[in-house]
Amino acid sequence: MSARRTAGTAVVAEAEERPGPAPDRRGAAIAAVVLCALLVVVILVTTPWHPLPGAGRPADPALDFTRAQIGRGDAFNRALDPPAYAGLAAGLLVVLLLGLTPLGARLLGPVTRPLRRWPLRLVGVAVVLAVLTRLAGLPFDVWSQTVLRRYGLSTEHWGGWFTDQLTSLGVTLVIWIVVLLGVHLLVRRFPRRWWAGAAAGGFVLVAAASFGYPVLVEPLFNSFHSMPAGPLRTDLLAMARRDGVPVGDVLVADASKRTTELNAYVSGFGSTRRIVVYDTLLTSEPRAEIELIVAHELGHAKRDDVLHGTLVGALGAAAGVCVLFLVLTSPRLLRRAGADSPADPRSVALLLAAVTVLLQVAGPVENLVSRRIEARADMHALDLTRDPETYVRMQRSLSARNLDDLSPNGLEYALWNSHPTGPQRIAMGRDWARLHHVPVPAPLVNSTSP
């Protein structure tokens, strides 16, 4: 009886690995080119490349930041650079070793062999790869956290920090498992053209994730409550009505349990759209500056920047899936990965390597577009409040408190900066004042200040 069961299992395994019809690489390549071209056109047409026409004066940190502030920010960012670059390099090295050498197949083989059903194999592979990649980056994350604690930006105890890491790992695992099960279901059902269904699925998944993130994921890390009734809440909601932005509430996040940084953001779209401010803002910033920060977020909401970013990201995901099809159907790359076909669970390591490289390449482009959108939201805040003096002070306060890099080099600017630098935003505020013929804010410090 057991011999027959063993023979039957061998037949099933052989059937799973038997070569199927040739994949439609030509169709996937054409779709990838078309979608990538469409993505480029959408980015070029919809990005606000000149959020403030006529602006362009150089940004000089010494005009508004003291030598002590500049020195402390420089020291903090020099301390943060080594773990950031080392973590980036280590992460790339690990996924490339797993995906482009037989090492990944050797590590995943013992996981996949004992499991008879392919969904269980994929779950096992997802767990192993998620844990390995997280462990590879953990020493550098710990290093970064020690820097944040040393400079007073982190208030989180190590126990809470590790809990956040485990929660993040759990969220990552859920996403991976959903994606892998969907992709492999398509691979097995449509072996020649699974790229078409996967591209459509990728588009929908990105949109659904962005829609659900505020109510499904954000509460795992922070608690939220309505801004307490009072003059500030009344004025903020009145400003939103004056701006023509439907805002039923402004939420406060308990960010102070892990950081002293100041921030606010908009997430979600449609019925899940929310404007959130950190509780650190309410306890440390003047009311006029808080109103300007919320006015910036209203700029994002009025322009539907989250929805726009979601749709552009979804289009990028669809294009990326077509590229991934070409990677996963390349006999040479499959041999290097030690996998037999895209249906082989061991090919997931190759998939992870390809996704990581694509995301790394896309990152600087995303940051470039994001900086322009953030600048447009700044201009919206100025148009709404017409208070460049407070705007300049607010940007100085945010940059000094958050220890922002005031003069990043070109590589750091491309890799890490999703917003313009503090001095750039201050310079835009002064340009706005000149163009609108209102008093231009004077430098906040003398060039000879210590």
- pLDDT above 90 for 235: yes
Confidence (pLDDT) at 58: 74
Mean pLDDT for the chain overall: 92
Query: 3 pLDDT exceeds 70?
Result: no
Task: Find the helix or strand (DSSP H, E) in which 250 lies.
Answer: strand 250-253
pLDDT of 59 reads: 86
The response to whether 300 counts as a known ligand-binding position is yes
Residue 323, class by beta-carbon neighbours within 10 Å (0-12 exposed, 13-18 middle, 19+ buried)? buried
Whether 447 has a pLDDT exceeding 60, the answer reads no
Least confident of 92-96, 111-115, 387-391: 111-115
Cα 190 to Cα 183, 187, 346, distances in angstroms? 10, 5, 19
Predicted confidence at residue 10, as pLDDT, reads: 40
pLDDT at 290 over 50: yes
pLDDT score recorded for residue 56 = 62
pLDDT of residue 112: 86
Distance between CA atoms of residues 7 and 4, nearest Å: 5
Average pLDDT over residues 124-142: 96
Lookup: tokens for 86: 């080392």
- Per-residue pLDDT band for 142 (boundaries 50, 70, 90) equals very high
Q: Report the pLDDT value the prediction gives residue 54, as an integer from 0 to 100.
A: 62
Q: CA 424 → CA 43, 57, 162, 237, 332, distances in Å?
A: 23, 9, 36, 29, 47
Confidence grade of residue 144 (pLDDT, cut at 50, 70, 90): very high
pLDDT at residue 335, rounded to an integer: 95
296 is in an annotated binding site: yes
Number of H helices, E strands in the chain: 17, 4
374 is in an annotated binding site: yes
pLDDT of residue 21: 74
How far apart CA 168 and CA 312 sit, in angstroms, is 25
Q: Mean pLDDT across the stretch 51-77?
A: 88
pLDDT on residue 445:
87
39-43, 231-235, 318-322: segment of lowest average pLDDT: 231-235
User: What pLDDT does residue 34 have?
Assistant: 98
Catalytic residue IDs: 297, 378
Q: What is the pLDDT of residues 338-350, one digit of tens each?
A: 999 999 999 999 9
175-191 per-position pLDDT tens digit: 999 999 999 999 999 99
Distance between CA atoms of residues 364 and 166, nearest Å = 28
* C-alpha radius of gyration, the chain, whole number: 25
Matching residue, tokens 């990538």? 36
User: Looking at the predicted structure, is the pLDDT value of residue 16 above 80?
Assistant: no
Q: Does the pLDDT value for residue 387 go beyond 60?
A: yes
Q: 349: closest CA among 127, 129, 120, 186? A: 129
Crossing angle of helices 287-302 and 231-242, rounded to 10°? 30
Tell me the average pLDDT across 80-106: 96
87 and 344 in contact (C-beta within 8 Å)?
no
